[in-house]
Chain A
């Protein structure tokens, strides 16, 4: 431990001791502040809300419970500590008697005991847990310093500082402020032009102009979407063993767009939780429901889909309650909550709401979710197709007459003429009879398999171009139980009297329908393995047409029908016919003459033919566009008759089910809104009701935490009794109500914070301020903490001018060390982008759950496996190795060095230029001097200058400047918010 660290430690202790003793005053004991934390930490696990775990039938989380008659005595005798069993037991010297028991791992301090005694003496009053009470918007507190506050929120901060004998920090200089606010609102540093314009703007609304510009920029939505994507457990793969790709980037883009449009938080909530249940949902509203399809799926062989479906539904319950209410219901899936009044019945009530969707550990249901650009094109093309169709329908001039004339010929010579059967041979002695219209029927015998030789008369006249087989449905209860037919091979021969049969080759096989794997072409491929068959449409009629390679006339036709598959897959009733018309007219339609009008239009009548060709090509382009549209997994409610019955899972085990439960919401937080059903839409509306004491507070707290490094409630994930108390409860409430009253506008909330005096404070720390408030609880300093993984990357890309500004689209693969992806049984590969996608914002980097980009996770980004309420910030040597050595940062150093090189001929100016591109402010003279010294030191020290340039992806340049640029990207100030 270094001395600084130790110094700091004592400072912390001093602070805590001071505040604790202040809280120890008997006069103002607050149950929520002083008593509940002691009881919750030490007593509730055995004497709390969980009935099953409760010992000695004693419950201490409610006053009623504490006042229960325990057989002539009570745990709490208000006003009489000496009569209260609670006090007697905690004060007891008897190891058998003392509470908490020594083997429980809990232990009270002397001060705890004192405070509890004082509380009982003062009457032992209980209070509802603070966050379960409605927020109240109190008037702004009075402050001594009048000219400091700029925004209402400043009054709260200042008043608290003043009451603790502290003063706020001075304002930041303009360069640092614009860097801070740009990074906070957009995740990108300001350009030098923006910074200089702001510095020169002497108008009273200079700050407001900057904030307005930032909130209107598209980068704003990208940056704040990332915050939400952590909660949505967004990732590009499904998770678990195979961890395959999942196409869900359209949801990410939906979130970006929603933030940029400042979609009110209630609408944002309802669309994501229940967009599919809205009346006539739009594609965008359906897309929003992918929020809850980000749950993991397990594709591992042999897994039970139901097990992982249930796990996904539970994840949705946990995530919903975590994200909107800051509560953890997770433990209530096995037993009633030990600390907060949430029962196992409450849990499965909410579970029942979410357990009615179609998805089941598989990709489906999905739906096409075009981008706005694709939508536009889609509309355009669809209208082109429909115009062409209309024009075709309207029939070009002369069409009707021409058609009638054309069709006349079929009166004289029908399209198809039945072939007369002259003779047949069958291995199994099957015989066929032919009716007048030419239909052939099997007379007797029903062998499993057979081959037939049919000799047919070729009608006189024009040469025959094609033959056709019509298969009619087999009769129910007929000769063969299986209604399918398998014509494995069909061969044709030409016979003339006295000559040997000559084989006739067939081509262009076509059928109205073929079984998968038994396509009609396989009937003439010379291989008996497969042929033409009909399953699963075996009970319908079918037709196939084959053309002769060389037309035939005169003589006889011998057809061999090989039907040797077995299981009785033979023709029962069928007909054979031939045609001498052009083959382009001969389709395998069941009714051959139907569609001849269309055919004439399509291929015979020139004016129509042209339109048709245009239509075909338009249709092709349309279907290509449609295929290119991402299909996103969405939520879809089961129809009422398929709703699942819901039961409690005992100890959380889905195979061990208990009592049935009805869909509902936890008792403690009121009822579903009037008129709402017990479905996801009902729950979404319930979350957004003013009666729900948590939603607005949780969201405001979260936004505050992103800007100030920690929330008023530091345990963002736990607003329950195990969580920490808010540092500024009145301000949290004020902001929460204000947020709701402002139509749930995040931009308005952010604007109020960004323009506050509180946010404008310098983050410099003096030994005095460090001693007074080491962790900046009272916010008497500006926030100073490390930038997120994404911002560290995006900042270096921006400073070096490499950043590709493209919004949305499929996730991309910037450089990553080789061999990082080695997942089991997955053939998917990391294909490093070489074009502009190499330099996209980190938000777009492909996220594989079981193998996230190493530079991202090392900087504390998540894997997207489960909902991540806040990221835990660390400071490690691995981070240093990344910003020093990673290809991405080397490239940025190279590009930045090039910009510096071009900026001036003077070294000091070059360095100043680079310094400002990274940190906005100019270097202090000492800093500049040190960097100039470095520049001159470096040249002789490189092991190989050319190699070094190439590791920065440069062919030429100044290696010393590149190394210097890398130093700029590695400064503490660079990695921290100013």
Chain B
């Protein structure tokens, strides 16, 4: 939970963490840190830098969409289509599922160039194509991990093993929230499942649990767990009980004198206010029709897929769950939420069972997100929020230019699939000082990076940089190391080439 707390009693904040290095003009540093109403005592001198973004909306397509079929128009690959993959691409490589020599699989859908920047975008994304001149396409991302759970963890927590704070936790730890009545780090999930690495993706790791992401639920129940009063109590009776708690706690404070008691009083009052403010911000029915249409959102819609054992078979192109989440994301950043993390599950298109193919499932998934994303960009622009909101889109890795062959060795309708591909894939950013256009390139068949490689560490460094945190300085001392999101080595660099 990333809301104001009394740091004094947050025991992890030992004196050293609290004051920076003891002895170093700690008085002034502590004062600055504590008096800035939103900033906490993050460690590392000079970790705050001028910010381009006030908020981040991170759209993670869990499972990893195929860059070959969405952004990478590769005529050479089309030429090889159906032929054996050359040995050089297989030697010494580890795959999740590919066995032996697979066949090459050309882009399955048509490409066209769009916008003034002449970017290639697949026919599956007409919405994104229409706003492509706002988008900075990074075509040369690579990662070290080729399985979902570790790759997602690496991307969001900086470590492929469990137990590290997620990006949203880092950001709220460094910057706090702008709205006292809302959590600073909100998570919204769609697609019927949480991502492979589970809630650890928005866990706070070794940071105080205060900074863990708060999952807001859109399935018709409480938007935040335990938010509703017990049935039959009513707001008036709740108020009476809270008044009594407050009076008794104040009495307690008068006699025991522990400042923690005052914090408790304020947290109970905040809880009471959240019971109003959270449902309010989560209520899409207040949005006018033209805005709902812009996103393709439907207030109150609870999709069947959201509670299915295997949601993939129930996916429909017009499912508004993701669109609703995009609209919520806008409402949240508009209300000062620092980090909004969307996860959409169902992008793992191996082609080995129904509901997970490139040729049949990918178009449905694209339909679910395309209009919503274009709507989000357009809406943020028209509200003047685009310049202060960083949008990041992508999966945890890419997909192979070869078809996956462990189930079918020949192409069969409904079973076009690609395996995990860590060596080159596409992500994009938009807003908050990112430069529209394309960055980086892959080789002729989209297997390796040909120009301007961008590592996961670079992505993380750039995101922190845009939100006003020096990725190299911003750290938290734990287990004898000044831990950083970008890890202990110096490989992570801000991608200057994508910043305007």
Contact = CB atoms under 8 A, between A and B. Distances in A.
Contact of B232 (A17, A924, A951, A967): A951
A944 B14 contact: no
B221 A818 contact: yes
A827 interface: yes
Nearest to A879: B267
Contacts of A761: none
Contact of B22 (A2, A37, A931, A964): A37
Interface stretch (A101-109, A592-600, A688-696): A101-109
Given A16-B19, A105-B473, A875-B6, A926 B251 contact: yes
A611 interface: no
Contacts of A663: none
A632 interface: no
Contact of A303 (B147, B194, B271): B147
B280 interface: no
Contact of A951 (B30, B225, B231): B231
A241 interface: yes
A717 interface: yes
B37 A766 contact: no
A1 B488 contact: no
B224 interface: yes
B217 interface: yes
Contacts of B149: 240-241, 298, 300
A952 B247 contact: no
B245 interface: yes
B198 interface: yes
B12 A872 contact: yes
Contact of A823 (B150, B198, B249): B198
Interface stretch (A207-215, A451-459, A883-891): A883-891
A331 interface: yes
A717 B11 CA distance: 13
Contacts of B49: none
A941 B209 contact: no
Contacts of A964: 241
B147 A300 contact: yes
B257 A766 contact: yes
A340 B481 CA distance: 11
A927 interface: yes
A328 interface: yes
A91 to B, nearest CB: 16
Interface string B419-441: 01000000000000000000000
Contacts of A756: none
Interface in A317-350: 322, 327-328, 330-331, 334, 337-340
Nearest to B163: A866
Contacts of B44: 105
A941 B30 CA distance: 46
B46 interface: yes
Interface SS majority for chain A: loop
B197 interface: yes
B232 A946 contact: yes
A874 B209 contact: yes
B445 to A, nearest CB: 22
Interface in A1-44: 1-2, 4-5, 8-9, 12-13, 16-17, 20, 37-38, 41-42
A785 B11 contact: yes
B165 to A, nearest CB: 11
Nearest to B212: A857
Contacts of A650: none
B208 interface: yes
Interface in B15-40: 15-16, 19, 21-27, 30-31, 34-35, 37
Contacts of A858: 1, 209
A948 interface: yes
Contacts of A927: 248, 251
Contacts of A8: 8, 259
A709 B224 contact: no
A477 to B, nearest CB: 33
Nearest to B24: A109
> Which among A42, A108, A858 has the highest number of chain B CB atoms within 10 Å?
A858
A478 interface: no
> Which among A850, A942, A948 has the highest number of chain B CB atoms within 10 Å?
A850
> Which among B35, B198, B207, B252 has the highest number of chain A CB atoms within 10 Å?
B198
B367 interface: no
Contact of A942 (B162, B207, B237): B237
B244 interface: yes
B237 A943 contact: yes
Contacts of B196: 240-241, 300, 824
B479 A967 contact: no
Contacts of A17: 27
B336 to A, nearest CB: 16
Contact of B197 (A41, A240, A338, A959): A240
B252 A971 contact: yes
Nearest to A947: B232
Nearest to A337: B480
Interface residues on B, range: 35 or more
Contacts, number: 352
A964 B242 CA distance: 11
A14 B311 CA distance: 60
Contact of A767 (B21, B214, B236, B257): B257
A296 B249 CA distance: 43
A925 B278 CA distance: 38
A303 to B, nearest CB: 5
A877 B309 contact: no
Contacts of B267: 875-877, 879-880
Contacts of B274: 877, 881
B258 interface: yes
A243 interface: yes
Contacts of B206: 872
A882 interface: yes
Contact of B240 (A105, A714, A884, A937): A937
B23 A20 contact: yes
A933 B248 CA distance: 12
A850 B30 contact: no
Given A865-B163, A866-B163, A967-B244, A241 B35 contact: no
A966 B214 CA distance: 25
A724 B227 contact: no
A945 B261 contact: no
A710 B11 contact: yes
Contact of B230 (A709, A720, A774, A890): A890
Contacts of A951: 230-233
Interface stretch (B89-97, B113-121, B125-133, B135-143): B89-97
Nearest to A705: B11
Contacts of A714: 14-15
Nearest to B9: A875
Contacts of B96: 301-303
Given A105-B45, A105-B46, A850-B200, A330 B481 contact: yes
Given A709-B11, A850-B197, A13 B208 contact: no
Contacts of B25: 109
B192 to A, nearest CB: 8
A948 B260 contact: no
Contact of B23 (A112, A302, A820): A112
Nearest to B30: A13
Interface in A749-777: 763-767, 770, 774-775
Given A17-B27, A302-B96, A943-B237, 14 more contacts: A5-B262, A37-B22, A111-B23, A300-B148, A302-B95, A302-B147, A720-B480, A767-B257, A822-B189, A872-B208, A941-B234, A943-B236, A946-B232, A972-B249
Instruction: Give the 3 A-B residue pairs with the shortest CB-CB distance, closest first.
Output: A850-B198, A947-B232, A302-B96
27 contacts: A2-B262, A16-B26, A17-B27, A37-B22, A241-B147, A334-B488, A717-B478, A722-B477, A764-B257, A767-B257, A784-B260, A817-B222, A819-B219, A874-B210, A878-B225, A881-B227, A885-B229, A890-B230, A924-B251, A934-B243, A943-B236, A948-B230, A950-B231, A952-B230, A971-B248, A972-B260, A972-B265
